[in-house]
Amino acid sequence: MLSLSRDRISEVDVTGQLVEILDMPEHLRDAQWRVESAELEPHDSPGGLVVAGMGGSSIGGSLARAALGDRASRPIALARGYALPSWATPDTTVLCTSYSGNTEETLAAYDAARALGARTIVATTGGKLAEQARADGVPVVPMPGGFQPRAAVAYSLVTALEVAALCGAGERLHSEVDVAAEHAERLAARWGPDGDDDSLAKTLARGLHGTVAQIAGAELTAPVAYRWKTQINENAKLPAFCAELPELDHNEIAGWDGAHGLGPFSAVFLDDSDLHPRVRQRIELTRGLIASRGAPTFRIETIGETRLERLVSAILLGDLVSLYLAVLRGVDPARVEAIESLKAALVGG
């Protein structure tokens, strides 16, 4: 059996990305303090909330929207690019989030929000975004430095939740964040390197090792499936793709007929107790169809009482699986040369 001991992990994970994953419970708590330190004022926004950001900085918006579910009372949209949605108005709150503060797409979205006259809030560690925001008198939620942007997921999630509550887009989940943090602590001990060698996280990583994974989610778990995909991309340096049920049953499922001849594929289904019963039935039927094509399949159930607890459990599991995959491959999870070289080429161009 391929080793996933703490010693083996430290040989590959030289910058300690595992520590940041296991510290997610503390990140959730610290994020609340950081939002409070920004002294944001409530501001009713009939136009809802737009979260503008890229990569690991933007994921908090989609996760917050899922955590709120039917407790969201206004639109919560993402702007992953240079522009805001065409329907945005001065009555919209725009949260511009860039870990480095130098993401060119987010800087452009910030300029668009200011030109529109929308209420604007910034979450960042510094850079040009913080400099411009402070010059404009725009409130800044200070994020902690020293992370890979994707490791700050708890900060981006909590910030989006708090801003959604302040602008009237959803209920405040402040107390639920504390409960979710305690829940994540227990799961981190179970799934971390000092847990059983046959824990869910380690078993799943070994099952996905050597395959191209499809991660499928629905409703609450749809944005989590996207998070799993991007974490496998960046940490394990592997291609992966994600899909959403029931939509994938109307197109993508047909593609599995040819998967066996192309290479080793696998499928993970992120289930949740609150999913529509027909969607849960689709998970089992779709999993069976893919398994009949010779691909390994896995069904993962979220764990927890509240939507936020269950969401956090699935995020934590996926982050650990992606890091364990990096260790099994012997690749440093922190290094993302392809992304950095592309950014450099854009600057040079």
Do 149 and 207 fall within a single domain? no
pLDDT score at 201 = 98
**Residue 2 is assigned to a structural domain of this protein:** no
- Residue 261: which domain range? 196-329
In a domain, 284, yes or no: yes
Do 167 and 114 contact (CB within 8 A), yes or no?
A: no
What confidence tens digit (pLDDT) does each residue in 20-54 have?
999 999 999 999 999 999 999 999 999 999 999 99
Domain boundary among 104, 137, 172: 172
SS3 for 304? coil
45 and 166 inside one domain: yes
Catalytic residue among 234, 276, 305, 309: 234
**pTM score, two decimals?**
0.96
Q: Are residues 221 and 98 in the same domain?
A: no
Q: Are residues 206 and 300 in the same domain?
A: yes
Question: Do 150 and 238 share a domain, yes or no?
Answer: no
Q: Do residue 239 and residue 120 come from a single domain?
A: no
Question: What's the CATH number where 55 sits?
Answer: 3.40.50.10490
Q: Where are the alpha helices (DSSP H) in the chain?
A: 6-12, 17-22, 24-37, 59-68, 104-116, 127-136, 153-166, 174-191, 200-208, 222-236, 252-255, 277-291, 307-329, 337-348
Catalytic entry in 39, 41, 250, 337: 250
Looking up tokens 């987010």 gives 106
Question: Does residue 335 belong to any structural domain of this protein?
Answer: no
Is the residue at 342 inside a domain? Answer: no
- Beta carbons within 8 Å of 255's beta carbon, 6+ residues apart: none
32, part of any domain: yes
Domain count, the chain: 2
Q: How far apart are CA 168 and CA 166, in angstroms?
A: 6
In the numeric block, the tokens 């490791």 are attached to 151
Q: Is residue 185 part of a domain?
A: no
Query: Looking at 172, 187, 210, which one is the last position of a domain?
Result: 172
234 catalytic per annotation: yes
Residue 7, in any domain of the structure:
no
Residues 233 and 291 in one domain: yes
Neighbours of 216 (CB within 10 A): 30
286 and 223, same structural domain? Answer: yes
Q: Do residue 146 and residue 234 come from a single domain?
A: no
pLDDT score for 348: 67
Among candidate residues 109, 114, 107, 108, the one with its CA nearest the CA of residue 84 = 109
Considering the chain, what is the average pLDDT of its residues? 96
Q: Would residue 248 count as lying in a domain?
A: yes
Q: How far apart are CA 186 and CA 112, in angstroms?
A: 43
Those residues of the chain that have pLDDT short of 50 are none
Q: Which two tokens stand for residue 281?
A: 């039935």
Is residue 202 among the annotated active site residues? no
